[in-house]
Structure 1
Amino acid sequence: MISSTAVYPSRSGAMLESDASYEIALSDSSFSKKSVALLKGEQQVIDSGLDYVVIRCSGLVDEKRHPSRFVAHLKSVSNQAPANMLHRLDAVGITAFASESLANQVINASTPNTCSKAEFYQAALDSMDSSLELPEITDTPDKLIDSSLSKKLGYSYRFKHTLELV
């Protein structure tokens, strides 16, 4: 099952796979309605009796979904929030790896090393020689998606740092 890192609550700190489940979300108000709905779907797959792998993907980017395209729609960008992103090639790669090598696992899929959203989006604009400027820069912290379990289980990310994605 392809899921999303949107399952995690809105709070700062590293997010491991064990930090979000349907059971946890039902008793923790920091989980959004969207998170609860996604986690309910994950739980149905887990409870199905079939072998499963749930892959929680970070924000998807590639040549057609270049991050510079999203800057115009941002109201603000934080210099304290991690840029949790995943290239399409790694999304496909980790899906193939999981289908061949894993069973009954929930894993995060996110580029292992990152920078702040402000640095990431500025680099994206610079890479496209864009005249757009970043919106208001804030100091708001946010979650960091920890992809160490997927690496420990044997997946090797093609892109090691989010700045390689731009």
Structure 2
Amino acid sequence: MGWKRVKQHYRISHIVHVSGGNICIGSVVDLERMVINPEGVIIRRPMRSDIEFDRFVREMDADPQSLVRLVTAEDEFDAQRTVTVYTFAGGRILEKQCEARGWPGVTHDGMLMYDHLFSTDKAVTVVRAKADARSAARAIQTDIDNTQLELRKLKSGLSNAEAYLAQLEADYPQEDWLHG
């Protein structure tokens, strides 16, 4: 996917990255202010006017075939500037390539590089991944404990309601006493 080609061709100074298979253009405040699908169609346009956005949206609209060609072409990267970085997803350590490390840099495959999720040091990434997994496990265990406590409360409430109903049924066995 040609996220880099799009950024260069349209001289975009905003953050350009890939998310959910789409090319996203935005800022720190709104990373997906504009979204282009893999076929080169703009599927989300900027909601507010901005000189730079207005310029490149006009250029894209004026020549949609060029946008399609750029999006569907493979990006090219300078091997001399390429740096290996590591991140994690679930229980896997991922090796990626990029030209500029750190925020708001983007890997060759378009992933936005958050400083706390990417490192050039694989060992640092492993430590971060384990800490993240440990923290997630603790949070989920807390949720489970809270849910079990709430379930015990609900079961107690149900038991009380059933006991009240049984008492009422025993004390007032005939429903027609109301109509008497």
**TM-score relative to the length of structure 2:** 0.29
Higher fraction of helix: 2
User: RCO higher in 1 or 2 (8 Å CA, sep ≥ 6)?
Assistant: 1
The TM-score normalised by the length of structure 1 is 0.31
Which is greater in Rg?
2
